[in-house]
Structure 1
């Protein structure tokens, strides 16, 4: 996916207290986060942070470009995200003319905003800059079970507020970015934080998280952790319509509901929540994430985050089966993407395959001693992958390998429309709430049709004036 772009929102400062102070206020002696990030341009050198095809201590990630132009998917695993056994993972699927730039910007900026928001929320709660984050709620000396539950509730509340604030700040930065046009471009986001036995999740759009877990018979089962936030979900549709936005499907794809402006059949966004897409932000599309918390058990084996290019052609059960049966853990993400690519060719040979990005996080923290990349002559530390198609990234809205305004085929032309089929199946009542996870007994199928176009029409800018550089 190429080099990492700069990550900071201008004027935002991440408090040193968040990194220089240990979990109970003691001064840390080992090398800290800020030692590695002297100026945010050095973010690619932060240890235990991977964002290109490769592996880490407990995960592997892989992305492959589809047939619609530049790869608009981005992904990240950041181990040691905080000093106390915390790992951050995310997958971001861009759409629109500059979707690839939006996805990369979110990939780099959102984790830091989450840290900053978490520290801010914690400081406000206890009146100090000292934090005491634990992987699970601590038992108090009194042994009072109600107090123990209350401690866990406070931790969940802390992360919930941090997710909400960081997503809001991320969208605000995109709106004011001087060189990145997000009027008709945007990105989904699914981000998780594993802190000990706690799993915290925040997500917008239709990228998805699924967990592989063992049932009572030691058989591997798929547990969907997130809900695809589509415009036809009852709560999403109601919100959009109250804001004067319109939700309907085109005649040639009757089961793909899209969001349209009240006064024009544009842009046809196939999701109800996203970063960017400011042409629709006044008409019901929001960037507020759904949040959920789950306590992990010893039966939970791994978590898969993937963009919808994977879920369009593979079921939750198929994904869990592919990952659990991979010859090595370090090859699981690549094998899953390869399987999705084969399914695209078999099921929809006349369609344009979507980009695919996968993060596989193994919950026991173990990885193979050797990776398939090394066996095939690849280095897991390589920053440029022949599969990513995203060489030469920059944070100023440009791309070193091609002009930033090059059309990326996420927006469909009228000529292309005739070559696409239709069909998307949605189960009823897919609504989730901020405190629950998706039911384990439901199979949430992805796109059943032959295309994946998130927005149909590129709207012109209302003004040709460029902001001052």
Structure 2
């Protein structure tokens, strides 16, 4: 996966297409108690490339508070994507995401979602903020430090903030799937992507998730011991509530004889495609049969005991437990190397546990909640200098999202070492939000973490459509 490392933390943004310098007020929105005269959303259309956005990294490297790393498996082109976007909307707001593509164009879908979904959240939050201002009910008006909600002191404010972010995630995910369906150059009929995304606003953590990528929290218990807290559920077809929905929509859920531990989603009239997840972006061949893109949303208040958050694709969770990942991150020699060490540990476990299986792609994001990273000297020991980072930031451009000059592969049974795709964006497509209709998410109060192992592709085969009609 090609991309740039943008680690600039200066107060002056990169220039827009008209040569105008964008100051930090570009990123400030009134919902966080900032000025509204110049918001980041007002300048999205003026940005020539996504790579010009400051404090946004999406390839191997680090930022002020995080490190990210991905490694290609042995199934073909790397279909994982990841992002950390600091100063997202305003100071002390960070967006993180991991996206795991599948199908012949899965790598393109994952990258498209990585690039477009944060912009849609920006758009929906600005729209919601405008409505809130119109009614005089801005939840965080006047004080930028009012980003920590105390439910005992202000339950109504907590509910309002929770509702605002919940609606933003729901609308943004819906708009993302709608854009993929109508994309002129990206075939998502039998390709798709997972998404596990978080927005950290001060001590508030908002989480949206579809598919089987996962987010966990490294925290200290009463005995000052590091423990793992699973933040998301792996939304696979073996969850009873997911299987029930799919079956109500005439989809089928069953496992193949040679992999009885992996439940898959199948068309009602054909033994295809065998999708190993119950929710995903894309995969429109199954959208009428129970596979949805509505995210599971949750809101958590972080405490001083919470130390870091790890987001990763299922290539990591297939071989490493939550506790093992927390132990690896907390014991890493440097924070900037934590994500890489997790991926390398997963690669060793794949070889040890499943020597006859092809290792899956792995992508990891580690966000440290105290806002601290290693010193510059520690980082240079890992082989990265500030000059190299600056060079990468200034010379890199985003990958193409339309498949031009990018050769998708239908066969994922050999190692493919492709060059980084450096096709630039011709434009940033307008962020559209579908305002019609309301999607609802069934809330589950008792979440259980699934530690199941999937050692095969997420998609077994493409559907073989013919004139044969479904059997009654």
Scaled to the shorter chain, the TM-score interval is: 0.7 to 0.9
Q: Which residue of 1 aligns with 2:410?
A: 407
Q: Secondary structure at the match of 1:81?
A: coil
Q: How much has 1:34 moved relative to structure 2?
A: 5.8
Q: Which residue of 2 aligns with 1:57?
A: 64
Equivalent runs, 1:138-287 vs 2, <5 Å: 148-287=154-293
Q: Which residue of 2 aligns with 1:79?
A: 86
1:410 and 1:195 mapped to 2: Cα distance?
A: 42
Alignment equivalent of 2:334, drawn from 311, 314, 328? 328
Q: How much has 1:380 moved relative to structure 2?
A: 4.2
Asked if the contact 1:2/1:392 (under 8 Å) is kept, the reply is: yes
Alignment equivalent of 1:47, drawn from 54, 60, 75? 54
Q: How much has 1:370 moved relative to structure 2?
A: 3.0
Change (3 A) 1:250 1:24: closer
Asked if the contact 1:249/1:257 (under 8 Å) is kept, the reply is: yes
Q: How much has 1:47 moved relative to structure 2?
A: 1.0
Q: For each residue in 1:135-188, what CA deviation from the matched residue of structure 2 results, as whole angstroms up to 9, or x when unmatched?
A: 12379xxxxx56x11001100000000000000000000000000000000000
Long gaps (5+) in structure 2: 5-24, 141-145, 415-440, 468-472
Equivalent runs, 1:281-360 vs 2, <5 Å: 281-360=287-366
Equivalent runs, 1:387-406 vs 2, <5 Å: 393-398=399-404, 400=405, 402-404=406-408, 406=409
Change (3 A) 1:59 1:21: closer
Q: How much has 1:115 moved relative to structure 2?
A: 1.2
Q: TM-score, normalised by structure 2?
A: 0.80
Asked if the contact 2:212/2:236 (under 8 Å) is kept, the reply is: yes
Q: How much has 1:395 moved relative to structure 2?
A: 1.9
Asked if the contact 2:32/2:147 (under 8 Å) is kept, the reply is: no
Q: Which residue of 1 aligns with 2:458?
A: 454
Q: Are positions 1:2 and 2:2 aligned together?
A: yes
2:108 and 2:273 mapped to 1: Cα distance?
A: 19
Asked if the contact 2:3/2:397 (under 8 Å) is kept, the reply is: yes
Q: How much has 1:287 moved relative to structure 2?
A: 0.1
Asked if the contact 1:64/1:357 (under 8 Å) is kept, the reply is: yes
Q: Secondary structure at the match of 1:175?
A: helix
Q: Which residue of 2 aligns with 1:365?
A: 371
Q: Which residue of 1 aligns with 2:148?
A: 136
Q: How much has 1:311 moved relative to structure 2?
A: 0.2
1:318 and 1:59 mapped to 2: Cα distance?
A: 19
Q: Secondary structure at the match of 1:80?
A: coil
Q: Secondary structure at the match of 2:356?
A: coil
Q: Which residue of 1 aligns with 2:109?
A: 102
1:393 and 1:32 mapped to 2: Cα distance?
A: 26
2:75 and 2:113 mapped to 1: Cα distance?
A: 21
1:371 and 1:36 mapped to 2: Cα distance?
A: 36
* Paired residue total: 411
Q: TM-score, normalised by structure 1?
A: 0.81
Asked if the contact 1:93/1:103 (under 8 Å) is kept, the reply is: yes
Change (3 A) 1:36 1:376: farther
Q: Secondary structure at the match of 1:244?
A: coil
Q: For each residue in 1:396-435, what CA deviation from the matched residue of structure 2 results, as whole angstroms up to 9, or x when unmatched?
A: 222x3x424x325189xxxxxxxxxxxxxxxxxxxx9647
Q: For the aligned residues, what is the CA RMSD? A: 2.9
1:357 and 1:24 mapped to 2: Cα distance?
A: 31
